[in-house]
With several copies, the nearest count.
Chain A
């Protein structure tokens, strides 16, 4: 297995998005998705904290966004697709999120991707 990618669904390798996560991150996800609207993107960029407070985020969630702590945001229940809207709005992209999640620099991650593994369902070869 290259890059020692584990074949399991446990964090920090994988954050499975479940109902419990959706409850925990409801406001965070809603906030991220609000940035699908160009007018909201503009308002957010003018004053990030104010926009988030209005969206009902708590101080910890606001801190995570301001710090671009993508891993913390995903752990807090922000759905990846919603956090991706936040990243895009602040001039980052999926690679920034991935690099933060994988604990490496963007360039390093881009260099090692695709991270080839080779395995088939049990009983197959």
Chain B
């Protein structure tokens, strides 16, 4: 039977990706250098974890979907997922390899289990994944991925409870996936930040550290925080932290934290935490 060997939560922002490209070309700014250094442990862990497949719960930022039909939860099931043009051209990275088999398996289990997934056989992925993948995984990218996009751009968004339960149900679905494959589950969403309104630039590092500290063992306590409260204290985009609950829910109570890093380069809290399942 397939099994989840670990997972990580990680922030994403457009600048995280653009600064990386710029850094490669003309040297990294000190603010951002720290972040790329701080995530090297994730890359090392990922190589050790050697996943055969990955599930990435993320959010789109109106870069693929639009309001003609905006899904609360969408799953990508296709042989590949191209990069979305966010309005300033494509970055020099290839498409993601899609995991059709695991994608349909999850779709079957999750839809029949009460999740109303929109199934995308054609999906372009934005900085929600592209802003961190390039420095966590060497090219060529060969590990097939199932992306799951959660609505965070317009309220109502799904509750923290539901996203946490979603992770648990992903885990249950994996239990019945045939084979011996090793699976890593990622949850990615911004930490404290707000990028519109007069509160633009709000930075609550205290909140972010508190979140990283509690995620592993005091998950329920974090899940119980109203999303309004996360937004009030950490900025509207801090609501994306709820996506991390899906990753946490997909892992067991027995995980070990093997890496954690946090910095605040510009206008967004940048954090990462890696959990590993016992062998």
Contacts and interface: CB of A to CB of B under 8 A. Distances in A.
**A–B contact, 8 Å CB criterion (strictly below):** yes
Interface of A: 5-9, 11-23, 26, 29-30, 33, 35-38, 41, 74, 79-82, 84-85, 88-89, 94, 97-99, 101-103, 109, 112-122, 124
Interface of B: 61-63, 66-68, 77-79, 84-89, 100, 103-104, 107-108, 119, 121, 153-156, 194-207, 210, 225, 228-233, 236, 264, 266-267
17 contacts: A8-B232, A16-B236, A23-B79, A29-B66, A36-B86, A81-B61, A98-B200, A98-B201, A99-B200, A101-B197, A101-B200, A109-B200, A109-B201, A114-B264, A119-B233, A120-B206, A124-B210
B271 to A, nearest CB: 14
A6 B198 CA distance: 9
Contact of A85 (B87, B201, B230): B87
Contacts of A99: 200
Nearest to B206: A118
Contact of B204 (A17, A23, A118): A118
A74 B107 contact: no
**In the complex, which of the residues B155, B196, B228 has the most CB atoms of chain A within 10 Å of its own CB atom?**
B196
Contacts of A35: 87
Given A6-B199, A7-B232, 15 more contacts: A14-B231, A15-B196, A16-B236, A17-B154, A21-B154, A22-B154, A23-B78, A36-B84, A85-B86, A97-B196, A98-B200, A99-B200, A113-B201, A113-B203, A114-B267
Contact of A36 (B85, B230, B267): B85
B119 to A, nearest CB: 7
B195 A94 contact: yes
B129 to A, nearest CB: 16
A89 to B, nearest CB: 7
Contacts of A9: 228, 231-232, 236
Given A33-B62, A84-B87, A113-B266, A19 B119 contact: yes
A33 B206 contact: no
B100 to A, nearest CB: 5
A89 B87 CA distance: 7
Q: Which 5 A-B pairs have the closest CB atoms?
A: A114-B203, A98-B200, A19-B104, A85-B87, A113-B201
B154 A79 contact: yes
Contacts of B225: 121
